[in-house]
Amino acid sequence: MTTPKGGSVFRLGHDRRATYCLTLPLAAVGALASLVLELGRGNAFDRFGLPALVMLILGLWVLACTRRASVRFIDGVLLVSAWAFLLGRVGFTLFAPGVADRAELVAATAPWLPILLMAHSWGLSERRALGLSLTALAATGLLVLAYALGSPTPDAVASANSGMLNTLVQMLLAGGVTVLGQRALLRHMRDQASGSRAWLATRGADQDPLTGLPNRVALEKLLTGLTARRPSGLAVAVLSLDHLGRVQEERGEAFTERLTAHVARTLSATVRDQDVVGRLSHTEFALLLRVPDDRAARAACERLRVRVASLPLDGVMPTISVGVTVWAQHLGSQDMLEDAARALRQAQDDGRNRVQLAGKLRTLPTDLEDVEEAAAV
């Protein structure tokens, strides 16, 4: 079954196996380059650890490209090995005797801590990613605590020791912020995935046959779920094709359907991946989107209005009127649709081809410079 154009607002995950086949050789080359650059002056840990890491990466690359191991297995081995190398290098730098330039080695290692923490969300489930992140961060913290409580090594002066401790603390703080950001990202991804599953599960029955977009039933289901789960920042826009009845009288029903499908494709191609556009009725569409405030909601709708008007079909310049509302306390899904519909009627009464925010008496100006200024916010 061919995916309808309307379904393109939901994009499924990329092929991690293909990604590994492309990126693992680059990682091996990078590790080898680091080893070559450090010849004659590198520390003992890197002289043994980097070749072992390169061999492991190449082995995983072979397994990925020949499909002899699952992606989950490759994910786990790669992450555990990377953490073993990173923590081993930190431990060696802090506690091995006779290591020169300890502070420089710590500074060179520190950026890799948040990078590895972020990598967890790329290939692991939410629970596993968070568990591994907290475990790795705790292990790093124990190494730093042991170093802070221990006596300075004989070849370290007090100022150097203090500077290195500062670098280590900053590294831990960066790691903690990364874990918090990771949790927010995974929560956002979960919300998007739940919306995708809700639409895909009902796509056959709740799909508009002309445009391939979610129909009113699907939109109301999605909107009800969104308002119940996380309504803050949710906006609903109702969009109407202007003068569609007149177009039908002049060009016929077949052309009217072509024009409707044309506008639907334009809307689908213009909205963001996380937004949902659907068809409410013969002349109306709806858009569900996340925005920081009213101004951003109006700017997003203005971009749609300008985009639709810029793409004529067989000499007919389509325009849309838009009513938009942003969630507020005590607003349910039907309340939001009704608010947006009232704002749409106000936009139509004011001359059409404009955006009206619910509860506002003034519509956005249609001057393109004002539109671009609003969209840039």
**CATH number of the domain within which 370 lies:** 3.30.70.270
List, for residues 176-223, the tens digit of each pLDDT value.
888 887 777 666 655 555 555 454 544 555 788 899 899 999 999 889
Predicted pLDDT at 365: 42
CB atoms within 10 A of CB 207: 21
Domain edge (last residue) among 193, 220, 244: 193
The residue among 146, 169, 193 that closes a domain is 193
Do 88 and 232 belong to one domain? no
221 and 186: one domain? Answer: no
Query: What pLDDT sits at residue 360?
Result: 59
Least confident of 83-87, 142-146, 357-361: 357-361
Same domain, 188 and 314: no
Share of residues in the chain with pLDDT > 70 (%): 79
Looking at residues 25-31, what average pLDDT do you find? 88
Domain co-membership, 23 together with 116: yes
Each residue of 318-335: pLDDT tens digit?
Answer: 999 999 999 987 778 899
pLDDT score recorded for residue 190: 59
52 and 155, same domain (yes or no): yes
Rank 154-158, 271-275, 286-290 by mean pLDDT and report only the highest: 286-290
The confidence score (pLDDT) of residue 279 equals 94
With respect to residue 199, please indicate whether it lies within any of the assigned structural domains.
Answer: no
Percentage of residues of the chain with pLDDT beyond 90: 37
Q: Report the amino acid identity of residue 70.
A: S
Domain membership of residue 202 (yes or no) is no
Is the same domain home to 233 and 295?
yes
Q: Quick check: is 362 in a domain?
A: yes
101, 153: one domain: yes
**What pLDDT shows up at residue 52?**
92
Residue 200 belongs to some domain of the structure: no
Q: Give the pLDDT mean for 282-289.
A: 94
Total-model pTM? 0.50
State whether 163 and 232 are in the same domain.
no
Give the tokens for residue 295.
């101004």
Domain check: are 242 and 354 in the same one? Answer: yes
More confident residue, 34 or 284: 284
Higher pLDDT, 122 or 4: 122
**Which range in 113-117, 134-138, 301-305, 359-363 is most confidently predicted, on average pLDDT?**
301-305
pLDDT at 1 over 50: no
Number of domains in the chain: 2
Least confident of 70-79, 102-111, 248-257: 102-111
| DSSP single-letter state for residue 214 | B
Using pLDDT thresholds of 50, 70 and 90, give the confidence band for residue 363. Answer: very low
> Mean pLDDT in the chain?
81
Check residue 104 and give its pLDDT.
81
Domain coverage including residue 284: 209-375
Nearest alpha carbon to residue 168 among 140, 210, 199: 140
Q: Are residues 161 and 222 in the same domain?
A: no
Residues 65, 69, 72, 78: what is their CA dihedral angle, to the nearest 10 degrees? Answer: -70
Q: Domain check: are 45 and 107 in the same one?
A: yes
Say what the pLDDT of residue 185 is.
66
Is residue 236 domain-resident? yes
Would you call 173 exposed, middle or buried from its count of C-beta atoms within 10 A (0-12, 13-18, 19+)? exposed
Q: Could you tell me the two tokens for 357?
A: 């925010």
Pairing mode, strands 234-241 and 320-326:
antiparallel
- Taking residues 89-100, report their average pLDDT: 85
In a domain, residue 347? The reply is yes
300 or 106, higher pLDDT:
300
Query: Are 10 and 138 in a shared domain?
Result: yes
Degrees to nearest 5, angle at CA 222 with 216 and 228: 130
Last residue of a domain, one of 141, 162, 193: 193
287's tokens: 């858009």
Residue 321 forms part of a structural domain: yes
Residue 216 lies in a domain: yes
Q: How confident is the model at residue 5 (pLDDT cuts 50, 70, 90)?
A: very low
> Who's near 314: CB < 8 A, 6+ residues apart?
255, 258
Above 90 in pLDDT, residue 45? no
Amino acid at 123: G
